Amino acid sequence: MSTVKIIDKEFAISIPEERILAEVDRLAKQISQDFEGKNPLFLGVLNGSFMFAADLFRRITIPAEISFVKLASYEGTASTGVIKEVIGLSENITGRPIIIVEDIVDTGCTMRKLIENLGTRSPESIHVCTLLLKPEKLKVALDVEYVALEIPNDFIVGYGLDYDGYGRNLRDIYTVVE
């Protein structure tokens, strides 16, 4: 089995590139069907989703736009805790269907914050499309409509996902070896 070492941890291949791309294909077909004539705006969440967003978007067969946002975390006051600010959204999203493109939904907290923020800008609707979902870790009520792959509760890297900034360039997805 092929393994890689990133910083101090050993990782083994868990989802090969061909499998990932087959699922991306399936999602792109489904989304193209569901949003026919609706002019959706895809919104990739940086950094992790850049590779998935590129592979997904080039398979979309209907007219659509894509943009990217970044979530900047900073410590708020003791009462508010960690605040995530949405930066980089210059498009007017009023009245448009938005498809958020994420690398992974873990606890779901990040996604919920983003949905709340976008909701204040009056889009027609907000949909969530994620490459990976860890169903066991999900701790907020969240309707994740489009999921490429469900995975167990282990730390993974590759295909855009990182361990301390490294591993994003791996073509396959790797799971940490305990």
- Please report, as ranges, the residues that interact with ligand IMP according to CB under 6 A: 48, 102-111, 155-157, 161
147 Cβ contact list (under 8 Å, min separation 6):
129, 130, 132, 133
Smallest distance, ligand IMP to C-beta of residue 93, A: 21
Q: How many residues bind Mg ion (CB under 5 A)?
A: 2
Report, in angstroms and rounded to the nearest whole number, the Rg of the chain calculated over CA atoms: 16
Q: Find the binder of Mg ion among 40, 44, 48, 160 (CB under 5 A).
A: 48
Q: Which of 106, 143, 154, 162 is catalytic?
A: 106
106 part of the active site: yes
Instruction: Classify residue 79 as exposed, middle or buried by CB count within 10 Å of its CB (0-12, 13-18, 19+).
Output: exposed
CB-wise, 64 or 142, nearer to ligand IMP? 142
CB-wise, 123 or 158, nearer to ligand IMP? 158
Smallest distance, Mg ion to C-beta of residue 45, A: 5
Cα–Cα dist 7/30, whole Å: 38
Q: Would you give the end-to-end CA distance of the chain in angstroms?
A: 15
Contacts with Mg ion, residue ranges (CB under 5 A) = 48, 103
Which residues does the annotation mark as catalytic? 106
